[in-house]
Structure 1
Amino acid sequence: MGLELRQNLKLTQQLVMTPQLQQAIKLLQLSRFELLEAVQQEMLENPMLEEAPKDVSEESETPVQTDDHRPDVAYDDADLMRNADWENYLGDFSSTSKQVQYKETEALEEMMSYEARLAGKPSLEGHLLWQLCLSNITDEEEMIGEMIIGNLDSQGYLTTTVEAIASESLSPKSQVESVLRLIQRFDPVGVAARSPRECLLIQLEMLGQDDPILLSLVDEHLEDIEKRRYKPLLRKFKILMEDLKAYLDIIQSLDPMPGASYGSESTVYVSPDVFVYEYEGDFVIVMNDDGLPKLQLSPYYMDDMSLSVKGPDREYLHDKMRSAMWLMKSLHQRQRTLYKVVESIVRFQRGFFEHGVTKLKPLILKDVADDIEMHESTVSRITTNKYVATPHGIFELKFFFNSALELDDGTQVGSESVKAIIKKMVSEEDPKKPYSDEKIAAVLKEKLDVNIARRTVAKYRAVLGIDSSSKRKQVF
């Protein structure tokens, strides 16, 4: 077989993801706060990019008083008003102390920054270590206590065994038990417990509760209390329902998760990207541009590039100019796409904007994509982490896309509408006779002609965070 060189022509198609295209796709799926951070970072890195100056509206001209229109105040009175020491005159009745006045006259650079005034939220570990350092214990016991505190989970429970801590610290098991008992009496009481039963028993001990029936209920019958099996408890302890209710009130006042209040989760605030207002029977879409800088090319560098700059510097400015222009174009395209998607959603879900969640219709990404003549992936990206303020509250754009349930007449209803109806039914039910999943499905079938299975009701109820009927039932 001979080897030879040969030339041939081949035509293929391939998608090339340029850096500019990657940037445009990334901007589509950024949330409002992430977009603001990305723009600010780009302004720091690109000298050709700067924020456009705000339009200063012409203020109404205020007539200036001339000497002829000054109020008739005698010279001596004016001099007295200007030079009088009012603070010494008022004495103790002054509204502000001299110390405060001195602080108000300090230079701005000498004042404390805003960040330095923010207090950090104490952690569970730091709160317990602070109490441990104040305890009258030896260095070895303090080391054991630090190991115990370091093995607590976010709920405040001990995640390891006493034997493991004793083995690692080379200390006797009895000493570890003694330090563990000390920490369990720290604030919050019951922390470092190994089970909910132990946690609640410690809290009862610190409250001075020594009733044998109450201790037995916590020690042996927590599962019965959780599943509301009250009749066997009444027979065993030979007590009335009112007595059992008093015991349950004490138990419910305890905290089974003492470390949860020191969680590190912070509140996430949402700023809507779009506002939808109702005006004269129609809906108006307004983009939320508040806080987003308006960008422009730097006039200073544009003049330099057209005059004296040559060579590598000129090429550098050309690259930065192209990057800045592409960023401004991508931001404009992002806002335009977001507007078109919200406009399409308002057309499809007009019943929701007029009447609320119960009128939400089934909708998929393909419906909106076909309506605005874009790809489904573009619609998916632009609806990620975007929020719209409607007459019925703030919702994520993904909320308007939901599956369909069949009605008896052949039409469809959105799953979110059914969830809203289930939530309303549960909120209005009799607490002593709550609706079961079968009953909810039957009511939906009877009143709304919704064909829904019991397991679907159970799934929707779990998504809404609603307990089963046995747990919702109130005996007392």
Structure 2
Amino acid sequence: MTKKTSLEDHLVWQLRMSRLSEREESIGSYMIGNLDEHGYLGISLEEVCQATGATAEEAEQVLKQIQFFDPVGVAARDLRECLLVQLQNLGLEGSLAARIVADHLIQLENKRYDRMARELGVSVEEIVQASHVIASLEPRPARGFEEEEIRTIIPDVVVEKISGEYVVFLNDEGIPRLRVSSLYRRLAGQQGEEEERARQYLQEKVRAATWLIKSIQQRQQTLYRVTQSIFKFQRDFLDLGVRHLKPMVLKDVAEDIGMHESTVSRATANKYVHSPQGLFELKYFFQSGLKSGNGEDVASESVKDKIRSIISTEDPKRPYSDQYIAGLLSQESIDIARRTVAKYREAMGILPSSKRRQPYSRK
């Protein structure tokens, strides 16, 4: 059983995976901490600058990056900006839909199609088509994160070793088997003046159903490609376990499969994989790294596993300090500061040495 990831956790994870500077990450964290319940930025950029010491240019740059995280449009300052960011992400910047959102949003809400058509110099049909595109956007980016719930984990993907090679399988059990009724397709194609309105209505519904089916198929194909790419990078994990995880960020997978980082993030959100090493959230495999003495990067989760192992073997009457653990890791060519050991230890819920120490027994 697991709790659904909160929007803040989801965004902070992406922030840490975005290769921003420490200063930019601090600015971004402050913004994420000030989103309202719908996913909009609840404070002005002036307030962000005052609180973080950022310049207006720095704050704007970090905000733009966050707005293209998953869910796209999050941290927008108003509905217009939220929708425009989503259209830009779809490659529709400058489109008729974008022009409507930018300058005619109130008219759209009131369905003043004729007036918009005249002012924009297009047909009413084009306005209607653009309005369908806008209607498919998400005006409340936080919608998918609003309810915290306990749920049973069912893997979305399975990785198995077959004839010496790892093969990715999608778990389609929870995916509905959808198809467009042949009867409605025939009715949508019928001719005749009396049936014209009904035919147009059916054609619209058939198009919407077809789009939904293709979207589900595309989403599954994206999940398959992302999972394949993850385990191309993390093959050693499948063979040897957690200590052999490699540092990997969203950009690595995005570049490998030719997709945007937000697409990769969206594809892995709340998705689980069953592997020869157990059940894991796909996000688990995106790891920051530390430099080792031999010049290779070591994944943070691998270092955590080593720290956990070291502490498990200590004398409970003389537990190891964070500084001593850092020294032991340096003997394994892992360059790590004491404060980083402390951060990893706390993340694993392990107490400091002063609180792990057990008193000597008196005989």
TM-score range (shorter-chain normalised) is 0.5 to 0.7
Residues 272 and 24 of structure 1, relative CA distance in 2, 3 Å threshold: farther
Question: Do 1:383 and 1:397's aligned partners in 2 also have CA atoms closer than 8 Å?
Answer: yes
Output the TM-score relative to the length of structure 1.
Answer: 0.45
Q: Matches of residues 188-267 of structure 1 in structure 2 within 5 Å?
A: 267=150
Aligned to 2:162: 279
Aligned to 1:54: none
1:290 to 149, 162, 173: 173
Say whether residues 1:445 and 2:330 are aligned partners.
yes
Residues 22 and 395 of structure 1, relative CA distance in 2, 3 Å threshold: farther
Residues 25 and 326 of structure 1, relative CA distance in 2, 3 Å threshold: farther
Aligned to 2:56: none
Question: Do 1:362 and 1:412's aligned partners in 2 also have CA atoms closer than 8 Å?
Answer: yes
The CA distance in 2 between the partners of 1:399 and 1:293, in whole Å, is: 27
1:423 to 297, 303, 308: 308
Q: Matches of residues 136-175 of structure 1 in structure 2 within 5 Å?
A: none
**SS state of the match for residue 337, structure 1?**
helix
Output the TM-score relative to the length of structure 2.
Answer: 0.59
Query: Which is higher, the Rg of structure 1 or of structure 2?
Result: 1
Aligned to 2:293: 408
Aligned to 1:319: 204
Aligned to 2:242: 357
Cα RMSD between the aligned structures? Answer: 2.7
Aligned to 2:22: none
Say whether residues 1:14 and 2:94 are aligned partners.
yes
Q: Matches of residues 333-348 of structure 1 in structure 2 within 5 Å?
A: 333-348=218-233
Question: Do 1:388 and 1:395's aligned partners in 2 also have CA atoms closer than 8 Å?
Answer: yes
Aligned to 2:317: 432
Question: Do 1:404 and 1:414's aligned partners in 2 also have CA atoms closer than 8 Å?
Answer: yes
**SS state of the match for residue 278, structure 1?**
strand
Residues 357 and 326 of structure 1, relative CA distance in 2, 3 Å threshold: same
Say whether residues 1:466 and 2:355 are aligned partners.
no
1:310 to 165, 173, 195: 195
Aligned to 1:252: none
**SS state of the match for residue 269, structure 2?**
coil
Higher relative contact order, structure no. (Cα contacts within 8 Å, ≥ 6 residues apart)? 1
The CA distance in 2 between the partners of 1:326 and 1:298, in whole Å, is: 14
What stretches of structure 1 of length at least 5 have no aligned partner? Answer: 1-11, 35-264
Return the letter of the residue paired with 1:467.
L
Residues 465 and 316 of structure 1, relative CA distance in 2, 3 Å threshold: same
The CA distance in 2 between the partners of 1:394 and 1:408, in whole Å, is: 32
Question: Do 1:20 and 1:326's aligned partners in 2 also have CA atoms closer than 8 Å?
Answer: no
Question: Do 1:402 and 1:414's aligned partners in 2 also have CA atoms closer than 8 Å?
Answer: yes
Say whether residues 1:300 and 2:186 are aligned partners.
no
1:366 to 238, 248, 251: 251
The CA distance in 2 between the partners of 1:280 and 1:22, in whole Å, is: 48
Return the letter of the residue paired with 1:288.
N
Residues 379 and 266 of structure 1, relative CA distance in 2, 3 Å threshold: closer
The CA distance in 2 between the partners of 1:460 and 1:325, in whole Å, is: 48
Return the letter of the residue paired with 1:458.
A
**SS state of the match for residue 296, structure 1?**
coil
The CA distance in 2 between the partners of 1:273 and 1:22, in whole Å, is: 29
Return the letter of the residue paired with 1:459.
K
Residues 417 and 21 of structure 1, relative CA distance in 2, 3 Å threshold: farther
Deviates more, 1:302-311 or 1:322-331: 302-311
Deviation at 1:275, TM superposition (A): 0.4
Query: 1:334-370 deviations in whole A, cap 9, x for unaligned?
Result: 0111111100001001011111110000101111111
Deviation at 1:267, TM superposition (A): 4.1
The CA distance in 1 between the partners of 2:195 and 2:227, in whole Å, is: 47
Question: Do 1:363 and 1:403's aligned partners in 2 also have CA atoms closer than 8 Å?
Answer: yes
Query: 1:223-266 deviations in whole A, cap 9, x for unaligned?
Result: xxxxxxxxxxxxxxxxxxxxxxxxxxxxxxxxxxxxxxxxxx97
Deviation at 1:303, TM superposition (A): 3.0
1:380 to 265, 273, 294: 265
- Percentage of pairs with the same residue: 47
The CA distance in 1 between the partners of 2:135 and 2:269, in whole Å, is: 17
Residues 399 and 23 of structure 1, relative CA distance in 2, 3 Å threshold: farther
Residues 445 and 365 of structure 1, relative CA distance in 2, 3 Å threshold: same
Q: Matches of residues 124-135 of structure 1 in structure 2 within 5 Å?
A: none
Return the letter of the residue paired with 1:323.
A
What stretches of structure 2 of length at least 5 have no aligned partner? Answer: 1-91, 99-129
Deviation at 1:299, TM superposition (A): 2.3
Residues 23 and 279 of structure 1, relative CA distance in 2, 3 Å threshold: farther
